[in-house]
Amino acid sequence: MKIIAYGIRDDERPYLDQWSKDQGIDVKAVGDLLDDTTVDLAKGYDGAVVYQQKPYTASVLDKLAANGITNLSLRNVGVDNVDTDAVKRNGFKVTNVPAYSPAAIAEFTVTELMRLLRRTPTFDRKQAAGDLTWAPDIADELNSMTVGIVATGRIGRAAMKIYQGFGAKVIAYDVYHNPELEKAGIYVDSLDELYAKADVISLHTPATKDNNKMLDDAAFAKMKDGVWILNPARGALIDTDALIRALDSGKVAGAALDVYEDEVGIFNTDFGSFEAIPDERLKNLMKRDNVLVSPHIAFYTKTAVKNMVQFALNNNKQLIETGHADNQVNF
């Protein structure tokens, strides 16, 4: 059995090498991502492990299948950038890692909210300029707020526990109800109801065709004045222009964005200077004290990285050996 793993970073390599040694399976680690220029490296291998930073286009998948590989294992949750027609046409079997560390993302999300509520970005800027005054930057307390969780999967539920630990009231919306949360009376009947009641809106839903830019002008208009927006999930969930308008008007008090709708090719890139970042809307957000932008790092912990690598390799091994896997995605 031979597996090729694309986009392997230095921080992932020890976990890949450990798995390869433990399993006695040859794994070729490639630093470049899977695309049209690297797909031919897969010739002679039985499966490919990949990471979601570039689209898996029909061209790439057709070439991968032509090279004899139809076992594809993603080291991440989202599959929204996989060409589904090419998957079906070529008979691909695709897996993801649905839960590499819900706690990592939940902890980061709440940490960013606390930074916003306690105005630490403002105080950091003031102190760097020698200003050690307090006013007018008085803080808010999470324990007095209602947090609206959008989607109650593993990450949403992990975040919920932390919010509740701070004493916040938690409400949630999900098309699919968790029985325990249902029994506890956590769910509201609609997103509109959640928008109307929540002081904080915490997004934990995957991106789908139905929820593309779900937070748009109409959605913001239904929210409380001074609402806080948290998005560690998918950039496509928020209409960036609408968010900027809501921030300008004060409808949104602040936002923590670990994802961005146009992040591909921008996040995880060193541009050398702030001015060189090639996205004016993103820079608009980054300049604000009441907006925290991070380059898709909520997942980025040692535990999560290890699980992403080794769970994906386990998935690929299962596909090769049996033709199916526990974390197989149905398209």
pLDDT confidence of residue 146: 98
Question: Taking 80 as the threshold, does the pLDDT of residue 52 lie above it?
Answer: no
pLDDT confidence of residue 170: 98
Inside any domain, residue 264: yes
Q: Which residues sit opposite 148 in a β-bridge?
A: 171, 201
Same domain membership, residue 114 and residue 72 = no
At 182, which amino acid appears?
E
| Confidence category of residue 11, pLDDT binned at 50, 70, 90 | very high
Same domain membership, residue 216 and residue 82 = no
pLDDT confidence of residue 25: 97
Inside any domain, residue 327: no
Inside any domain, residue 329: no
| Confidence category of residue 54, pLDDT binned at 50, 70, 90 | confident
Q: What is the spatial distance between Cα 71 and Cα 90, in angstroms, rounded to a whole number? A: 11
Calculated CA dihedral for residues 254, 152, 222, 219, nearest 10 degrees: 80
pLDDT confidence of residue 264: 85
Please tell me whether residue 118 adopts helix, strand or coil conformation. Answer: coil
Q: What is the spatial distance between Cα 317 and Cα 331, in angstroms, rounded to a whole number? A: 20
Same domain membership, residue 179 and residue 32 = no
pLDDT confidence of residue 218: 98
Same domain membership, residue 287 and residue 141 = yes
Could you read off the pLDDT of 110-165 as tens digits, one per residue?
A: 999 999 999 999 999 999 999 999 999 999 999 999 999 999 999 999 999 999 99
Inside any domain, residue 68: yes
Q: What is the spatial distance between Cα 129 and Cα 18, in angstroms, rounded to a whole number? A: 47
State the average pLDDT over residues 10-22: 97
Inside any domain, residue 328: no
* DSSP H/E element including 165: helix 154-165
First to last CA, the chain: 26
pLDDT confidence of residue 331: 87
Of 193, 263, 281, 324, the active-site residue reads 263
Question: Taking 90 as the threshold, does the pLDDT of residue 265 lie above it?
Answer: no
Q: What is the CATH number of the domain that holds 120?
A: 3.40.50.720
pLDDT confidence of residue 313: 98
Same domain membership, residue 226 and residue 169 = yes
Residue 296 annotated among the catalytic residues of the structure:
yes
Same domain membership, residue 152 and residue 18 = no
State the residue range of the domain holding 189.
102-293
Residue 263 annotated among the catalytic residues of the structure:
yes
Inside any domain, residue 331: no
Average pLDDT, the chain: 96
Are the beta carbons of 313 and 28 closer than 8 angstroms?
no
Of 180, 296, 321, 324, the active-site residue reads 296
Could you read off the pLDDT of 295-320 as tens digits, one per residue?
A: 999 999 999 999 999 999 999 999 99
Question: Taking 90 as the threshold, does the pLDDT of residue 80 lie above it?
Answer: no
Handedness of CA 59, 60, 66, 72 (dihedral sign): negative
Q: Which residues sit opposite 330 in a β-bridge?
A: none
Could you read off the pLDDT of 234-253 as tens digits, one per residue?
A: 999 999 999 999 999 999 99
Same domain membership, residue 121 and residue 86 = no
Inside any domain, residue 170: yes
Question: Taking 80 as the threshold, does the pLDDT of residue 71 lie above it?
Answer: yes
Same domain membership, residue 35 and residue 61 = yes
Could you read off the pLDDT of 152-211 as tens digits, one per residue?
A: 999 999 999 999 999 999 999 999 999 999 999 999 999 999 999 999 999 999 888 899
DSSP 140-187: --GGG-EEEEE--SHHHHHHHHHHHHTT-EEEEE-SS--HHHHHTT-B
Inside any domain, residue 309: yes
Domains held by the chain: number: 2
Q: Give this prediction's pTM.
A: 0.90
Please tell me whether residue 147 adopts helix, strand or coil conformation. Answer: strand
Same domain membership, residue 110 and residue 65 = no
Same domain membership, residue 56 and residue 124 = no
Of 75, 119, 154, 234, the active-site residue reads 234
| Confidence category of residue 83, pLDDT binned at 50, 70, 90 | very high
Q: What is the spatial distance between Cα 220 and Cα 251, in angstroms, rounded to a whole number? A: 7
pLDDT confidence of residue 36: 95
Residue written as tokens 């916003």?
A: 116
Question: Taking 80 as the threshold, does the pLDDT of residue 53 lie above it?
Answer: no
Same domain membership, residue 226 and residue 159 = yes
Same domain membership, residue 124 and residue 44 = no
